[in-house]
Amino acid sequence: MVNEPESLQLTDFQEDVDWCYLAGYYELGNQQIDFTDILEATADKQQYIAGRQWFDLHNSPLEWFHNLGSERLAENGLIKLTRSELLLLGSQVSTLNTDVQKKQQGRMLSFLLGKEKDEDAPPLDAEQCNHLRDYQVNGVNWLFRLHRHGLGGILADDMGLGKTHQALAIIDLTAEESDRFLIVCPAAVLYHWPEKQQTFFPHLSMSVYHGPQRDLKQALASRIIVTTYGILRQDIDELGLIKFKLVIFDEMHHLKNKKTSTFKAAGLLLAGTTFGLTGTPVENNIQELETLLTICLPDLFLSSRIHHMFKGAETSEERQMVQRIVAPFILRRTRKQVLKELPALSEDIRLCELSDDQVAAYRQAVEQATEVVDELMGEAPLSNYTHILTTIIRLKQICNHLCQLEQCTDWTMYRSGKWDEFTRLLRQCLQSKLKVVVFSQFTTMLDIIEAWLHDKKIDHVSLRGKVSAKERSKRIKRFNGVKKCRVCCASLLAGGTGIDLTGAQVVIHFDRWWNPAKEEQATARVHRMGQRHPVQVYKLVTVGTLEEKIHGLIEQKRALAAELIVEDDGSILKTLSRKELAGLFRYG
């Protein structure tokens, strides 16, 4: 006795907007069992279908299909299935064959067979997507195919492979007039999305829906709304009334617990298609993956049998069955797989928000700088830039962490938006088994970071200007050669000359330097001859502060950067106009 077929043979197939219609049979050796015979036997409450091999209808992974009932028999004698049901049926059998001519297979069956027609390929605009690597274009094509069939999925690429780029590209590819799109992400990466959108897809409009003064009506004036999981939970009554063409959950593992109100809110959104982005779709157990797919593919998980399969997937064979079910809906590429595709160096600006503590301190510092601003707005020549630089340094320290002003290393004393983003990013890097170099121009900030690393028992080394050449060489050798040594904390000046940190794959610039050449020089300690891995560079910038303005000035004055390579901070200040300098002392 058997409970599943050796293969499934389709003899006829049709599809319309809502349904797929098929005819065919199970193959058990030389024995064939027609689909209609199976449905009729189940309707007559038969347990088995007799033959050379008896077929068990009820203790079968395909019991859901056997129990569809006579109402699924169409007038033309074909059985009708939803697209999700067809994909589930195809994924649960070891072999799927068809006698249907290719021109009659339709898009859905072609997708299931992995034989889509050339004309079904998404019409990517070469000019708009010329920044995408080949593997990213393949990822966008995969998302497009799922979306075209009304199916969701999870893009599970490794950290640093550009899931944000691919998500924005699928929005760009599918956007039509009056369409709306929703992106939900952790608060720490909220401003990462508009940064990428403005850089690579400036023709798309995006609104950040966040904060106590948020206005949904105003946000809806843009094609794309980006918000946080917390706001989704709070405002689901309003957001749940809007029809979105695509909903994208960034770092979707935040929804892995189905008992939370955030998970329930996610399920109430009206989405044509739902996609998740996460490098860790399974963190602890297979049920987490089921939870995420339930949001992306709610129709697929209506069957209690599917839930039972995930819950009972303890043996290798059971896990292989689950893998066949989820395979069409998950795309994962590792850094190793696409190594040849990766650029040698990629840069990511991470935008952060000041905490309430920082906002109060920043505003106070700005108010105390009114004399500086008045001087800048006057007409008298500026002979001394020292007081300007002193104020700027104080503002930069506030952007980093208020502990810098207090000369303490207890990071728990104050909240810092940049600190929260940094520790989140560092944890993610360490979970991905990546080595990290952290640069800061302030040794006091490095003291705080190293205190945190000590507390978390994360093995690391420190490079400061006061470290002797012999000891520095010893520490560099340890960082590059000892696997468990995961982090190197370096002052920007000490880390900028005479060292080789090619053991790292990630560089984090905790604070921005006036002179981009010095940043690049420090990055070059990691990205240099002997480096066998792609290097990902992260630069942390606080929104609305002088850091964001400095970043903007650097971007606007690329030509100026070449002139500033050997200049000190005072000289760089002198290259800026009075208006640009005064603008640094405004918040917001």
Q: What are the sequence ranges of the domains in the chain?
A: 7-113, 121-331, 345-583
For tokens 């070891």, what's the residue?
Answer: 94
Distance of CA 425 to the CA centre of its chain: 12
Residue 62, pLDDT > 90, answer: no
Give the pLDDT of residue 524.
Answer: 76
Same fold, 121-331 and 345-583: yes
Letter for the amino acid at 233? R
Residues with Cβ < 8 Å from 578, sequence gap 6 or more?
Answer: 376, 377, 382
Provide the pLDDT for residue 333: 82
DSSP string, 180-208: -EEEEE-GGGTTHHHHHHHHH-TTS-EEE
CATH class of 121-331: alpha beta
- In the Cβ-directed half-sphere of 515, how many Cα atoms lie within 13 Å? 20
CATH number given to 345-583: 3.40.50.300
Phi, psi of 513 (to 5 degrees): -100, 150
Q: Is the model's pTM score more than 0.75?
A: no
The pLDDT of residue 559 is 38
Q: Residue 403 pLDDT > 80, yes or no?
A: yes
pLDDT in tens, 305-342: 677 777 766 676 777 777 777 778 888 887 667 756 55
467 or 449, which is more confident? 449
Task: Among 95-104, 155-164, 266-275, 529-538, name the one with the lowest average pLDDT.
Answer: 95-104
User: Which pLDDT tens digit goes with each residue over 542-575?
Assistant: 998 988 887 776 665 443 333 322 233 444 455 5
pLDDT at residue 497 tops 60: no
**Of the candidates 185, 98, 112, the residue with the CA atom closest to the CA atom of residue 151:** 112
Q: What is the dihedral of CA 333, 427, 353, 349, to 10 degrees?
A: -40
Q: How far apart are CA 8 and CA 36, in angstroms?
A: 14
